[in-house]
Chain A
Amino acid sequence: MAETGATSQNNPWRWLVVGVPYLWLLVFFTAPFLIIFKISLSDTAIAMPPYTPTFEGFGAIGDFLSQLDVENYLFLTEDPLYINAYLSSLRMALISTGLLLLIGYPMALAMARAPSTIRPTLLMMVILPFWTSFLIRVYAWIGILKPEGLLTLLLQSIGLFGPDQQVQIFRTDYAVFIGIVYSYLPFMVLPLYSALEKMDNTLLEAASDLGCPPWKAFWKITFPLSLPGVIAGSMICFIPITGEFVIPDLLGGAETLMIGKTLWTEFFGNRDWPLASAVAVLLLLALVVPIVIFQNQQQKVR
């Protein structure tokens, strides 16, 4: 036993297996992040690229470093617009994740309890929308929700709406919620399903034998056992929703304030790459720090 342990320590394959994900993170996460972080410390300029200083090589590195400052971060704290945009994004993401759980959990539960013969079909139906471009699916919602769109026509044809009445959902926050919940639902259902499917159903039988009502059995057994799925699904949805740009841009109104749109304005409208980078760095910190703390807590519990 001791011998195999020693060889696995020195096995070059082992290092490769561990090294590849780290290399991946280094090249595709750490390096871009450092570039963004560096730009966030520079100043705008009318030049290509539109900021100064640019890195001119290691010879002038002292000069280069001396020109960097945290001015952009100070500006972000002075102006309530950015704080409001962050808070508004977090609010949207929180509500959306809540709605996703409410809709996704029953779906996942029904799928997990369905006869094993039809489960692959149900799973396929959840994944099927991915075969169409995300953009086209969001555009389809414009066709449904706009005032003269399909929803209005439907409500008028069944007599719920008069001929002059139109649905006023498009270009409001409601449309954004609909778009987000629709687009992210598979990301919530799949982790929940995989957690629920693994559950040992004999536990529920035992509970019922001992006189536990089904709703109590759900809260005492099913839900706690599915908690890893709930957490995974919520995180997979919450994090990208906070930075979401496409859905609020296409479905939201002018008053939909989200950090993704603010970032877009800074980058394109203002061509203020340094400030846009500072917004992005803070967004990342606002999301990563709580998650790391949470992960550490989980580790300790185990």
Chain B
Amino acid sequence: MKQTVLRMLALAATALTSTAALAQERVVHVYNWSDYIDESVLEDFTKETGIKVVYDVFDSNELVETKLLAGGSGYDVVVPTGPFLARQIKAGVFQKLDKSKLPNLSNMWPLVSERLAKYDPGNEYAVNYMWGTTGIGYNVDKVKAALGDIPVDSWDILFKPENAAKLKSCGINILDASDETFAIAMNYIGKDPDSKVAADLEAGGEVYKKIRPNVKTFNSSAYIDELANGDTCITIGWSGDILQAKARAEEAKNGVKVDYVIPKEGTYMWFDNLAIPADAKNVAEAHAFINFLMKPEVIAKASNYVQYANGNLASQKFIEESVLKNPSVYPNEATLAKLFTISPYDPRAQRVINREWTAIKTGQ
């Protein structure tokens, strides 16, 4: 909500200035996740092409989707996550990419493109921007103090009620992204993470209901700071976010040591992708922007900054050692094999999980 209001103001301001600047100036309106790019990449793009970037950010897929489905969003490039992308393609939100305008496609990583094809068959509508995992972020010292010297490598650390009870006093956060949390819980109890059967989804919900009395917060952006300043000691979170929390704690020198782990049971692998809305006004500029981001050295700069892996194979030689060799960012073959993707929920399953999720969050 706060984001919406701020964004509306920002939009109104840009609308006023851009109409004043007349139509001869080439612009592209980009709508990306917050904290998700090295700002200098945008400046480089303008320097190289003369196209001005109007950059706007969001922090939830749901908000983007609602805007896109209502139509006339005014954006030329948006960055939805896999299952949302798939549903939006089906709803007719996006236009097919003109691949003749995207010569840098040859740099892409076939492994990522293949997995992305689950959401976008034939890779016709979208190009991967970044990808990552949803795992466990934790405060090394506080978790050790609460649970003793046991390895943190399994979802048990959070999902076993006796562990959760011991961690309660130091602060548990659960990511407020029900599509992912249900898949993770179903995978944990040995069910198909991609199941859309109501009974399986409810069984997944049970995992959270059992630990609910011990959970302090459900959020998907404030937890970065809370983990960094020690208010939260363990969270389900997105890989890059946790690594950002780690970096912030190191910068602050507050004695908080944060780490990220991909649990051995496997977890959800997600893809954030660049796509062009069907009603985009600056289609040529949008293609130029996407093509620019697929330059190996450009996307490597972004990855080095946000600490997320990208779907560009050729970029890997430009990526800093500390990022490329970090198994939390670029997992090894064995871990990659255990990561799963999920297809979009149909309306019936969606209603079940959102209903369950509200019940879990409100402790009903």
DSSP majority for the A interface? loop
Contact flag A171-B217 (CB < 8 Å), given A249-B1, A270-B350, A271-B66: yes
B349-364 interface with A by 8 A CB criterion: 350-351, 354-355, 357-359, 361-364
A265 touches B351 (CB 8 A): no
Chain A residue at minimal CB-CB distance from B215: A254
A265 touches B69 (CB 8 A): no
Residues on B with beta carbons closer than 8 Å to the beta carbon of A257: 362, 364
Q: How far is the CA of A268 from the CA of B62 in the complex (A)?
A: 5
Within the complex, the shortest CB–CB distance from B238 to chain A, in Å, comes to 18
Per-residue CB contact flags for chain A residues 242-281 toward chain B (1 = under 8 Å, else 0) read 0001100110011111000010111111111000000000
Residues on B with beta carbons closer than 8 Å to the beta carbon of A262: 358
Per-residue CB contact flags for chain A residues 41-52 toward chain B (1 = under 8 Å, else 0) read 000101111100
Query: Which of the candidate stretches B46-54, B86-94, B267-275, B328-336 sits at the interface with the other chain?
Result: B86-94
Residues on B with beta carbons closer than 8 Å to the beta carbon of A250: 1-2
Within the complex, the shortest CB–CB distance from A260 to chain B, in Å, comes to 10
Residues on A with beta carbons closer than 8 Å to the beta carbon of B178: 269
Contact flag A50-B69 (CB < 8 Å), given A245-B1, A262-B358, A272-B347: yes
A119-139 interface with B by 8 A CB criterion: 135, 139
Within the complex, the shortest CB–CB distance from B225 to chain A, in Å, comes to 11
B62 touches A81 (CB 8 A): no
A267 touches B2 (CB 8 A): no
B62 touches A269 (CB 8 A): yes
Contact flag A265-B354 (CB < 8 Å), given A46-B90, A246-B1: yes
Residues on A with beta carbons closer than 8 Å to the beta carbon of B180: none
Chain B residue at minimal CB-CB distance from A147: B231
Contact flag A255-B66 (CB < 8 Å), given A135-B5, A270-B354: no
Q: How far is the CA of A250 from the CA of B3 in the complex (A)?
A: 11
Contact flag A255-B363 (CB < 8 Å), given A49-B70, A50-B91, A272-B351: yes
DSSP majority for the B interface? helix
A46 touches B66 (CB 8 A): no
A48 touches B93 (CB 8 A): yes
Residues on A with beta carbons closer than 8 Å to the beta carbon of B347: 44, 46, 272
Q: How far is the CA of A268 from the CA of B68 in the complex (A)?
A: 12
B2 touches A254 (CB 8 A): no
Residues on B with beta carbons closer than 8 Å to the beta carbon of A208: none
Q: How far is the CA of A48 from the CA of B91 in the complex (A)?
A: 6
A8 interface contact, C-beta 8 A: no
Q: How far is the CA of A270 from the CA of B229 in the complex (A)?
A: 33
Residues on B with beta carbons closer than 8 Å to the beta carbon of A256: 362
- B362 touches which of A49, A135, A254, A271 (Cβ 8 Å): A254
Per-residue CB contact flags for chain B residues 202-234 toward chain A (1 = under 8 Å, else 0) read 000000000000010110000000000101000
A67 interface contact, C-beta 8 A: no
- A267 touches which of B66, B217, B362 (Cβ 8 Å): B66
A81 touches B364 (CB 8 A): yes
Q: How far is the CA of A280 from the CA of B240 in the complex (A)?
A: 38
B65 interface contact, C-beta 8 A: yes
Contact flag A81-B359 (CB < 8 Å), given A50-B69, A271-B65: yes
A79 interface contact, C-beta 8 A: yes
Per-residue CB contact flags for chain B residues 228-252 toward chain A (1 = under 8 Å, else 0) read 0101000000000000000000000
Contact flag A254-B217 (CB < 8 Å), given A249-B1, A270-B354: yes
B361 touches A255 (CB 8 A): yes
Q: How far is the CA of A137 from the CA of B51 in the complex (A)?
A: 38
Residues on A with beta carbons closer than 8 Å to the beta carbon of B2: 135, 139, 246, 250
Chain A residue at minimal CB-CB distance from B345: A270
Q: How far is the CA of A79 from the CA of B62 in the complex (A)?
A: 23
Q: How far is the CA of A68 from the CA of B299 in the complex (A)?
A: 49
Chain A residue at minimal CB-CB distance from B69: A50
Q: How far is the CA of A267 from the CA of B90 in the complex (A)?
A: 19
Per-residue CB contact flags for chain A residues 216-257 toward chain B (1 = under 8 Å, else 0) read 000000000000000000000000000001100110011111
A84 interface contact, C-beta 8 A: yes
B71 touches A49 (CB 8 A): yes
Q: How far is the CA of A147 from the CA of B231 in the complex (A)?
A: 9
Q: How far is the CA of A147 from the CA of B69 in the complex (A)?
A: 39
Contact flag A269-B69 (CB < 8 Å), given A50-B91, A250-B2: no
Within the complex, the shortest CB–CB distance from B277 to chain A, in Å, comes to 10
Contact flag A268-B66 (CB < 8 Å), given A49-B71, A147-B231, A254-B362: yes
- Taking A254-B362, A269-B357 as given, write out 12 further A-B residue pairs in contact, using a Cβ cutoff of 8 Å, ordered by the A residue number: A46-B87, A47-B92, A48-B68, A48-B69, A49-B70, A81-B358, A81-B359, A253-B217, A254-B361, A255-B361, A257-B364, A269-B178
Mind listing 30 A-B residue pairs with CB under 8 Å?
A: A44-B347, A46-B90, A47-B69, A48-B68, A48-B69, A48-B70, A48-B71, A49-B70, A50-B69, A79-B355, A84-B364, A139-B2, A147-B231, A148-B231, A171-B217, A249-B1, A250-B2, A256-B362, A257-B364, A262-B358, A265-B358, A266-B354, A267-B66, A268-B62, A268-B65, A269-B357, A270-B351, A271-B62, A271-B69, A271-B350
Binding site for B on A (CB under 8 A): 44, 46-50, 79, 81, 84, 135, 139, 147-148, 171, 245-246, 249-250, 253-257, 262, 264-272
Q: Which 3 A-B pairs have the closest CB atoms?
A: A268-B62, A254-B361, A257-B362
